[in-house]
């Protein structure tokens, strides 16, 4: 068997959590491969709403096994709070959530360093989620990180050594905040993690595949936030693209099967950084209101704009997307006309190639399509799709060269339409 990968093609928040939940019945194992509690994956069903940060989105559909892979960074305190809230809602996880021993731990001081680095950047700040993601991955790459498996041996010594190093760094940045108040919760989180089966995800996943089990790898963030291919430096600190699933779980490239690429019918981004199709007018406000575009973790208003096919095409290429999934089309239900960015004009030259940098000189070139002006939120079958909506899908498919297999018309699990055609 192969590992199918599901990931975001834009700047995150495409609706990955919802679709992982919808697809889970077809899988035996769901595994997160990168990122950490910077993610906020929302699921809605039976009138309930959950936002997951570190726990994979495959926990609500039967007793499927969920794995937190080695590529993930884990904050014990936040993890404990997340799992306890789920358990309170009746979802027991201890038996079916497994954690890689090689996943790295986010320390309280990583969170402070995140804040210190952001403050030092001033106007050029990234607008991180403040969860310590960058500093934790920095320690991993500079070979100074602490891993989940380190909890089991000489942990106090390892912890103190790391904190000592962080203390010096914080001092350099003039950051005198006290983290000891955060330590109690953090160490309680460490004890809490010990309740779960700590595994090596690489043999675990590969054995599952050999036994004929189906595995879905769940991405966090989005391709435009990838450390290598995103809008650097306004990115996150991990590889969010399909190749990240190989690294973050320990599966070989030839073991990757379908790659589900998720995008919104328009586009959003949180935090700083370039966004060529961003809107500052009524259409942008309408998207924000109708789409409830406020961060699921931070509550920050998300920046909104038209869909960007130059960036999307690049994302489809990097990830080798085999199936596209379009989310939140209902948000555009009321629009008279819909714009689609088909090229960039850079210093007067038109191009559909994704440039080295999305600088101020990048200007979107738009095609304009008629809106469908129909409430699609109760539709259950593609036969009901209005003509103008079908044209929108066909236009995107033609430009992106991949079929749109699923269309989402609302936040609920049920508001999902699988397409036979396309």
DSSP SS3 for 129: coil
Binder to ligand IMO among 66, 236, 277, 319 (CB under 6 A)?
Answer: 236
325 binds ligand IMO (CB under 6 A): no
Is residue 385 within 8 Å of residue 379, measured between CB atoms? yes
Task: For residue 278, give both structure tokens.
Answer: 């961003």
14 binds ligand GDP (CB under 6 A): yes
Give me the helix-helix angle, 108-121 and 155-172, nearest 10°. Answer: 20
CB-wise, 267 or 270, nearer to ligand IMO? 270
Choosing from 4, 13, 21, 226, the catalytic residue is 13
CB-based burial, 383-401: b 16+ in 10 Å, e otherwise:
eebeeebeebbebbeebbe
Query: Hey, which residues between 271 and 310 contact ligand IMO (CB under 6 A)?
Result: 271
41 is catalytic: yes
* Ordered DSSP codes for 320-332: T-SEEEEE-GGGG
Partner whose binding site includes residue 32, from ligand GDP, ligand IMO, Mg ion, none (CB under 5 to 8 Å by kind): none
Binder to ligand IMO among 18, 80, 131, 405 (CB under 6 A)?
Answer: 131
Strands annotated E in 288-394? 303-305, 307-308, 323-327, 337-346, 349-351, 362-370
| Residue in the structure block whose two tokens are 């309680």 | 188
Least distance between Mg ion and beta carbon 41 (Å):
6
Strands annotated E in 109-213? 197-199
The backbone torsions φ and ψ at residue 31, rounded to the nearest 5 degrees and listed phi first, read -135, 130
CB-wise, 206 or 298, nearer to ligand IMO? 298
Binder to ligand IMO among 3, 12, 102, 364 (CB under 6 A)?
Answer: 12
Binder to ligand IMO among 4, 6, 8, 148 (CB under 6 A)?
Answer: 8
DSSP SS3 for 383: helix
Least distance between Mg ion and beta carbon 42 (Å):
7
Choosing from 4, 21, 28, 41, the catalytic residue is 41
244 binds ligand IMO (CB under 6 A): no
Partner whose binding site includes residue 134, from ligand GDP, ligand IMO, Mg ion, none (CB under 5 to 8 Å by kind): ligand IMO
Binder to ligand IMO among 134, 284, 410, 422 (CB under 6 A)?
Answer: 134
Rg of the Cα trace of the chain? Answer: 21
Least distance between ligand GDP and beta carbon 297 (Å):
8
Peptide bond into 233 cis (omega under 30): yes
409 binds ligand GDP (CB under 6 A): yes
**Contacting range for ligand GDP; rule: CB under 6 A; set: 13-21, 138-146, 281-289, 380-388:** 13-21
110 is catalytic: no
Contacts of 399 (CB under 8 A, 6+ apart): 309, 313, 342
Binder to ligand GDP among 18, 131, 214, 269 (CB under 6 A)?
Answer: 18
DSSP SS3 for 417: strand
13 binds Mg ion (CB under 5 A): yes
Give the separation between CA 155 and CA 194, rounded to whole angstroms: 13
DSSP SS3 for 101: coil
40 binds Mg ion (CB under 5 A): yes
Interface positions with Mg ion (CB under 5 A) = 13, 40, 296
The catalytic site residues sit at 13, 41
Interface positions with ligand GDP (CB under 6 A) = 8, 12-18, 39-42, 44, 291-292, 296, 327-328, 330-331, 408-411
Interface positions with ligand IMO (CB under 6 A) = 8, 11-13, 35, 38-41, 126-129, 131, 133-134, 220-222, 225, 236-237, 270-271
């Amino acid at each position: 068997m192969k590992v199918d990968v599901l990931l975001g093609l834009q700047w995150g928040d495409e609706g990955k959590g919802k679709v992982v939940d919808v697809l889970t019945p077809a899988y035996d194992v769901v595994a997160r491969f990168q990122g950490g509690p910077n993610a906020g994956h929302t699921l809605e069903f039976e009138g309930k709403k959950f936002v997951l940060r570190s726990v994979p989105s495959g926990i609500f559909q039967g007793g499927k096994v969920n794995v937190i892979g080695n590529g993930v960074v884990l904050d014990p305190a936040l993890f404990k709070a997340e799992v306890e809230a789920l358990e309170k809602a009746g979802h027991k996880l201890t038996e079916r959530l497994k954690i890689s021993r090689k996943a790295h731990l986010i320390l309280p001081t990583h969170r402070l360093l995140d804040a210190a680095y952001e403050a030092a950047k001033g106007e050029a700040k990234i607008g991180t989620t403040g969860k310590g993601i960058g500093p934790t991955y920095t320690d991993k790459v500079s070979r100074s990180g602490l891993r989940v498996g380190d909890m089991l041996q000489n942990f106090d010594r390892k912890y103190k050594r790391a904190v000592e190093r962080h203390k010096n760094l914080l001092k350099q940045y003039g950051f005198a905040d006290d983290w000891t108040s955060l330590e109690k919760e953090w160490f309680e989180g460490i004890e809490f993690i010990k309740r779960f089966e700590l595994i090596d995800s690489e043999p675990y996943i590969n054995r599952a595949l050999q036994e004929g089990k189906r595995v879905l790898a769940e991405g966090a963030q989005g391709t435009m936030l990838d450390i290598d291919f995103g809008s650097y430096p306004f990115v996150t600190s991990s590889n969010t693209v399909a190749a990240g699933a190989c690294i973050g779980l320990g599966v070989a490239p030839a073991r990757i099967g379908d790659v589900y690429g998720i995008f919104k019918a328009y586009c959003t981004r949180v935090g700083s950084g370039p966004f060529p199709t961003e809107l500052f007018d009524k259409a942008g406000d309408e998207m924000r209101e109708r789409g409830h575009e406020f961060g699921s973790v931070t509550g920050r208003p998300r920046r909104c704009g038209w869909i960007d096919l130059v960036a999307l095409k690049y994302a489809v290429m990097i990830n080798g997307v085999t199936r596209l999934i379009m989310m939140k089309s209902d948000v555009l239900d009321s629009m008279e006309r819909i714009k689609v960015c088909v090229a960039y004009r850079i210093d007067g030259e038109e191009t559909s190639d994704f440039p080295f940098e999305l600088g101020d000189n990048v200007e979107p070139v738009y095609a304009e399509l008629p809106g469908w002006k129909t409430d699609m939120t109760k539709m259950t079958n593609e036969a009901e799709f209005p003509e103008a909506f079908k044209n929108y899908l066909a236009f995107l498919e033609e430009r992106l060269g991949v079929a749109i297999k699923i269309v989402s018309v609302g936040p609920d699990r049920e508001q999902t339409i699988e397409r036979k055609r396309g």
